[in-house]
């Protein structure tokens, strides 16, 4: 007999059926809340209701909720073990102890006392239900005496009326004083059942039972027992065949903890502490008050900051207009070529500034309320009496491609932070995409899964933050702060030791794999030679034995080998899927006390772990695998079959979860009113391991805290490649349920669109599968016959689409009339088990040829054709009418690493800029955006494709001061008052705008200045190269390839944390900035010499040229500092040589072009 005990008194009736004979089949059935379950097979609200079991490759899947195959039980009798939850009429003594003890004593014997009063119903493809008629369990009475008041702290005699039940039909005993207090201060509600008293007069309560028989005389809405007068002890379970019947409150009351309503008779404030009301308690709050509160709130930037900011933008725009007009009307007749180049550059800079500034006019901030999320989705209610989590599932994607550039230890820490996230365990599934097919990554992930069994319970028990062990143990702050458990120090020491051993094992994996493979390969060579001898072959002939990579179990690794043999190279290997951690149980599983095997005491901690899957897609020669975008799409298909979470979190391997509540913060936006129009929630990127001065603007705070916040006030921020929660249906290419088209000038005229056909519903609404239908040519109707063409020929993948759409809907009470929503509690059911047929189906969808003749990468999933697939993917979603949200949490949601080396940083910027040029020359240019995109959002996306071209004008403008000093001319004929006033106004408005941006974004002046400096560094190095590469690709079809950005591993003890900052790696991208610096320094020397030796020195032109040259050099200072390497390591002779060369060149220029009137001083003759 198999025994399955309830984990808590509120757990459902659990029935374990096993044959009385030996080795008989086992069938598990469970009773859940009396509402239809949102499983694929037995929930009438499910999109696949009536379609039969969802199978894969012809296999049948068994549901944990009670579906089972019909079996013939050959035993003589069947034993049942029924654990009945405590109810108002049946309060068992310590249900968690008595029931378990009795079960252990009578293991293997039929319990007739449990089955005698229960009617079991059920059948094929339905959940077995138990109707409890009578309970013969002996129990001890723990309640007060029947004649005493039931209020806490009161021992007065209870009131007596016409019957002995008390003033309320629930039978709650209460004295007269407490009764009057409840009527006066408690709103006239009974403390026991929370229902209003039938009579609230101040007499002796003689009229309270006038309506007692009203409820008893009514027939409860049971289809099979409609005319039967129900006994109050009968536990009724609503038949799934009649989902439209009303919910029976009495039945729900009976099957829950024993009280109806919000808490006990006196309820502490916010469920945790004591309030300030009578006797230290608050009155019971409104049950639905919190759940109706919004999950999110928009915080508009203060008008005292935003209004002057917008005014300054207008003033600067007007000043630029007058300045450029004046410049055009007043050319420099003495140097028209210089004037022409300068005015062209200035016109482009004005346009570039305008494109960058316009989307910043509407910045917003947003906050979430996690307490409301918990009350709405994880608290007991009518449809979810157990209080199971009703949150949607979340699939987390982590991508890696090369274990040499992306160390396995970094990836392992990211995985551990995901497994320990504060989100329902059964709703999380983590997928690691290893695009290199490396055995090192595979075995490192297996080690990570082993460590997670200790690390995750430790984090949950002690509230560890962050839940990345490397980051946590590397913190320099006091780790004892706010820790109150006495066993924390001891357990932390043990876990730290275990993690150190884990790091050693990870570091030793490459050598271990090499030695193992060498040993097996040597053994294979000996076997081959022995076989050659047995066959009588020539021993002198060499035997070719492939140098394979071997797994620990003595089998060939199906992925990439170190020898790169056929079918085992980086671009030619089979697809691999391995579930490292199986899907967890639906009920919490508590651990054991600390012993030799368990490092920590986890008796009070849920030790379940989320599902963890290793995925390496198939790669074959002749197929374009589309780099990271192709790997992400493979994960989308795999996860759809294995877990099918309606929401997807995408992370890079070096970006870990720094805030364990980050997923809940993002889901607040997805599940709030209007959240069905949100395609993704983007979090800002925060970085660690960056030098304190942030020499190369690695934090990029101006973009993440200024530009992205401003875009959030429009249609939403861009997708930046990591730290983003997607709606799965949006990734599938579907349009939102509602959209707005913008017509007229600047999109001022709006037109609402309802892109999904409303269903004709009855008065009693039925939730059906919502078809995703569009009405315009771009978004064609999606029918079942078109699904294979769009998504491929996997039936399981096609069947998962409506399920994901249904699970991602808002709750019904948040939707307006006529809109589709899901019923509350529909996701509070166990996940279907994972079987071999499902994994086999998942293998088929990651094959190299699966995407042929489909729309993957064109409309579905991550979009192909650009090295910046993230921006294009987000643009396509916004173009369909979706909106996105920017979620800035108080504690950083995610943290990662960034390249602090100058060369690596320039190559990273080069990749981004090249992707922008590709966007500009493609159909993803915002000029071709649909009318569903807002005007300012379109401007922002257009600027994404335009900004690299600014570098061409920027390089010219950086040389103009030097040319001016060499020639003695300037961009204007004279530095008159008008030019200086315009220049002063433009500069001051820029400074004030920067100050106000700092005020509403929260950045500091140092970060703003670093961003300005690197804008010029990147604009004179990486951006021009990106423009050239983009033009070559468009014109000549030259493909663009980039190498992975190396992820920095944790430095060893004693090593400099910022050692990479001082490493000088030569790159062709450094040539333009070095040339600009040298030319400007020489020009300053030449200009000063020319002016000093001139008969009529023109100091105004010298000052103008020197000012702009110094402006260029100040911006390039971090670049020059990076070229010098480590401070103090550059020999002094280098500076001597540099100064000497500059002086010689300056003197040569003065000799070649001597100042007029002083020729005699410049004559030179050899002796």
In the numeric block, the tokens 């004693």 are attached to 1054
Contacts within 8 Å (CB) and 24+ apart, 447-451 = 447/412, 447/502, 447/505, 447/506, 447/509, 448/412, 448/415, 448/416, 448/580, 449/580, 449/581, 449/609, 449/612, 451/412, 451/416, 451/498, 451/499, 451/502
- Establish whether 402 is a catalytic residue: no
983 phi/psi in degrees, rounded to 5:
-65, -40
Please state, in angstroms and rounded to a whole number, the distance separating the CA atoms of residues 120 and 137: 19
C-alpha distance from residue 256 to each of 11, 168, 298 (Å): 8, 20, 38
Q: Look at residue 367 and give its three-state secondary structure.
A: strand
E strands within 253-371? 296-300, 364-368
Question: First-to-last CA distance in the chain?
Answer: 116
Q: Which residues contact 1161 (CB under 8 A, 6 or more apart)?
A: 1093
Q: Is the omega angle on the peptide bond into residue 439 within 30 degrees of 0, that is, cis?
A: no
In angstroms, rounded to a whole number, what is the distance separating the alpha carbons of residues 210 and 193? 18
Per the DSSP assignment, residues forming a β-bridge with 434 are 400
The neighbouring-strand residues paired with 148 are 157
**Checking DSSP bridges between strand 749-754 and strand 724-727, what pairing results, if any?**
unpaired
Provide the pairing of β-strand 26-30 with 611-616. Answer: unpaired
3-state secondary structure at position 7: coil
Helix pair 836-844, 627-642: axis angle to 10 deg: 150
Strand order of the β-sheet with 611-616 is 576-581, 611-616, 428-434, 394-400, 647-652, 724-727, 678-682, 883-886
Chain centroid to Cα 5, Å, comes to 35
CA distance readout (Å), 895 to 250, 476, 545, 688, 689:
50, 17, 46, 7, 10
> How many residues are present in the chain?
1167
Q: Return the structure tokens found at 916.
A: 């922008």
Ordered alpha helix ranges (H), 968-1045: 977-1001, 1005-1019, 1022-1036
Say what angle helices 488-534 and 439-462 make with each other, to 10 degrees: 160
- Kindly give the residue spans of alpha helices, DSSP state H, lying in 330-366: 336-357
Residue 91 CB contacts under 8 Å (≥ 6 apart), including other chains: 139, 141, 142, 143, 258
Sorted by sequence, the CB contacts under 8 Å of residue 853 that are 6+ apart come out as 789
Going along 622-748, which residue ranges are E strands? Answer: 647-652, 656-657, 678-682, 686-688, 724-727, 738-743
CA distance 628 to 625: 9
Report CA torsion sign: 696, 699, 700, 701: negative
Active-site residue identified among 103, 434, 435, 712: 435
**What gap in Å lies between CA 1147 and CA 1144, rounded to an integer?**
5
The one catalytic residue in 870, 892, 904, 1060 is 870
The encoded tokens of residue 541 equal 């002939």
Q: 296 - beta bridge partners?
A: 368
Q: 457-496: b or e for each residue (b if 16 or more CB lie within 10 Å)?
A: bbbbbbebbbbbbbbbeeeeeeeeeeeeeeebeebbebbe
Active site residue 852: no
Which pair of structure tokens corresponds to residue 805? 């759409």
The CA distance from 1041 to 867, in Å, is: 8
Lookup: tokens for 621? 């020669």
Q: Which residues are annotated as catalytic?
A: 435, 870
């Amino acid at each position: 007999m198999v025994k399955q005990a309830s984990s808590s008194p509120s757990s459902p009736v659990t029935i374990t059926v096993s044959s009385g004979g030996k080795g008989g089949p086992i069938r598990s059935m469970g009773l859940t809340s009396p509402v239809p379950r949102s499983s694929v097979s037995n929930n009438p609200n499910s999109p696949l209701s009536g379609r039969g079991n969802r199978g894969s490759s012809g296999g049948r899947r068994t549901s944990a909720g009670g579906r089972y195959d019909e079996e013939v039980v050959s035993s003589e009798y069947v034993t049942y073990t029924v654990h009945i939850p405590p109810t108002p009429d049946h309060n068992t003594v310590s249900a968690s102890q008595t029931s378990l003890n009795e079960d252990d004593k009578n293991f293997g014997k039929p319990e007739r006392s449990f089955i005698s009063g229960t009617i079991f119903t059920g059948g094929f493809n339905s959940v077995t239900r138990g109707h409890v008629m009578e309970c013969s369990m002996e129990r001890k009475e723990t309640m007060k005496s029947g004649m005493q008041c039931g209020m806490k702290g009161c021992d007065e005699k209870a009131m007596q009326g016409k019957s002995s039940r008390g003033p309320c039909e629930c039978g709650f005993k209460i004295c007269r004083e407490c009764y009057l207090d409840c009527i006066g201060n408690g709103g006239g509600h009974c403390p026991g059942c929370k229902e209003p008293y039938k009579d609230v007069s101040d007499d002796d309560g003689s009229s309270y039972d006038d309506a007692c028989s009203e409820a008893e005389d009514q027939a409860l809405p049971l289809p099979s027992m409609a005319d039967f007068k129900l006994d109050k002890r009968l536990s009724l379970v609503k038949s799934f065949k009649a989902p439209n019947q009303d919910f029976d409150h009495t039945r729900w009351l009976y099957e829950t903890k024993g009280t109806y309503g919000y808490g006990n008779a006196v309820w502490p404030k916010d469920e945790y502490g004591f309030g300030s009301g009578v006797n230290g308690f608050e009155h019971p709050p409104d049950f639905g008050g919190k759940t109706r509160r919004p999950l999110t709130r928009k915080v508009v930037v203060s008008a005292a900051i935003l209004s002057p900011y917008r005014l300054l933008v207008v003033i600067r725009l007007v000043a630029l207009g007058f300045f450029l007009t004046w410049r055009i009307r007043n050319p420099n007749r003495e140097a028209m070529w210089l004037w022409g180049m300068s005015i062209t550059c200035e016109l482009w800079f004005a346009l570039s500034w305008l494109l960058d500034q316009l989307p910043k006019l509407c910045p917003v901030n947003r906050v979430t309320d996690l307490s409301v999320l918990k009350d709405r989705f994880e608290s007991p209610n009518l449809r979810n009496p157990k209080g199971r989590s009703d949150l949607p599932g979340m699939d987390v994607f982590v991508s890696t491609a090369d274990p040499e550039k992306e160390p396995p230890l970094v990836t392992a820490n990211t995985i551990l932070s995901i497994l320990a996230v504060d989100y329902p365990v059964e709703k999380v599934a983590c997928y690691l995409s290893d695009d290199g097919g490396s055995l090192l990554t595979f075995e490192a992930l297996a080690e990570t899964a082993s460590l997670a069994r200790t690390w995750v319970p430790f984090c949950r028990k002690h509230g560890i933050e962050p839940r990345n062990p490397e980051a946590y143990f590397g913190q320099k702050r006091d780790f004892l702060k706010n820790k109150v458990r006495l066993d924390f120090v001891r357990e932390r020491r043990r876990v730290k030791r275990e993690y150190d051993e884990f790091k050693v094992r990870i570091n030793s994996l490459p050598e271990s794999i090499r030695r193992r493979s060498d040993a097996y390969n040597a053994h294979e060579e000996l076997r081959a030679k022995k076989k050659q001898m047995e066959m009588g072959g020539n021993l002198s002939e060499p035997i070719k034995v492939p140098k394979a990579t071997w797994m620990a179990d003595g089998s060939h690794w199906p992925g990439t080998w170190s020898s790169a043999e056929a079918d085992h190279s980086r671009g030619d290997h089979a697809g691999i899927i391995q579930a490292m951690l199986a899907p967890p149980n639906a009920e919490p599983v508590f651990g054991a006390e600390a012993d030799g095997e368990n490092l920590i005491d986890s008796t009070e901690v849920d030790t379940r772990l989320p599902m963890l899957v290793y995925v390496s897609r198939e790669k074959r020669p002749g197929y374009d695998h589309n780099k990271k975008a192709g790997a992400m799409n493979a994960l989308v298909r795999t996860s759809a079959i294995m877990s099918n979470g309606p929401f997807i979190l995408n992370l890079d391997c070096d970006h870990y979860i720094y805030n364990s509540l980050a997923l809940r913060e993002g889901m607040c936006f997805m599940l709030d009113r209007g959240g069905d129009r949100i395609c993704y929630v983007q979090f800002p990127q925060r970085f660690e391991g960056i030098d304190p001065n942030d020499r190369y603007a690695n934090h990029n705070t101006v973009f993440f805290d200024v530009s992205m916040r401003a875009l959030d006030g429009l249609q939403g921020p861009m997708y930046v490649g990591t730290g983003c929660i997607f709606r799965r249906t949006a990734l599938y290419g579907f349009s939102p349920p509602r959209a707005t088209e913008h017509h007229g000038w600047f999109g001022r005229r709006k037109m609402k669109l309802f892109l999904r056909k409303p269903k004709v519903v009855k008065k009693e609404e039925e939730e059906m599968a919502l078809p995703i239908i569009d009405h315009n040519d771009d978004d064609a109707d999606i029918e079942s016959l078109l699904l294979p063409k769009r998504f491929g020929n996997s039936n399981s993948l096609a069947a998962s689409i409506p399920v994901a759409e249904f699970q991602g809907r808002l709750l019904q009470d948040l939707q307006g009339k006529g809109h589709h929503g899901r019923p509350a509690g529909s996701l509070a059911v166990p996940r279907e088990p994972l079987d071999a047929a499902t994994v086999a189906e998942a293998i088929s969808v990651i094959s190299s040829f699966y995407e042929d003749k489909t729309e993957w990468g064109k409309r579905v999933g991550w979009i192909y054709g650009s090295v910046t697939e993230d921006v294009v993917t987000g643009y396509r979603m916004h173009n369909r009418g979706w909106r996105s949200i920017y979620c800035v949490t108080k504690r950083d949601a995610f943290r990662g690493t960034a390249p602090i080396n100058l060369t690596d940083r320039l190559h990273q910027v080069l990749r981004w800029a090249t992707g922008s040029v590709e966007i500009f020359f493609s159909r993803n240019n915002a000029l071709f955006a649909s009318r569903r995109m807002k005007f300012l959002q379109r401007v922002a996306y257009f600027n994404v494709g335009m900004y690299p071209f600014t570098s061409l004008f920027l390089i010219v403008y950086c040389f103009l001061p030097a040319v001016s000093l060499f020639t003695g001319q300037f961009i204007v004929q004279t530095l008159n008052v008008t030019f200086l006033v315009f220049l002063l106004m433009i500069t001051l408005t820029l400074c004030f705008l920067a100050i106000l941006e700092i005020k509403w974004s929260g950045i500091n002046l140092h970060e703003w200045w670093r961003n300005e400096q690197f804008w010029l560094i990147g604009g004179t190095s990486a951006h021009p190269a990106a423009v050239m590469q983009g033009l070559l690709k468009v014109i000549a079809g030259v493909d663009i390839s980039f190498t992975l950005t190396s992820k920095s591993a944790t430095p060893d003890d004693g090593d400099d944390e910022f050692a990479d900052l001082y490493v000088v790696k030569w790159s062709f991208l450094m040539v333009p900035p070095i040339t600009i610096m040298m030319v400007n320094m020489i020009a300053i020397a030449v200009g000063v010499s020319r002016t000093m030796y001139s008969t009529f020195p023109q100091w105004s032109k010298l000052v103008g040229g020197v000012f702009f040259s110094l402006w260029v050099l100040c911006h390039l200072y971090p670049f020059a500092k990076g070229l010098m390497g480590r401070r103090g390591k550059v020999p002094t002779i280098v500076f001597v040589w540099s100064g000497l060369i500059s002086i010689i060149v300056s003197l040569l220029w003065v000799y070649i072009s001597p100042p007029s009137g002083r020729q005699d001083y410049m004559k030179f003759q050899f002796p």
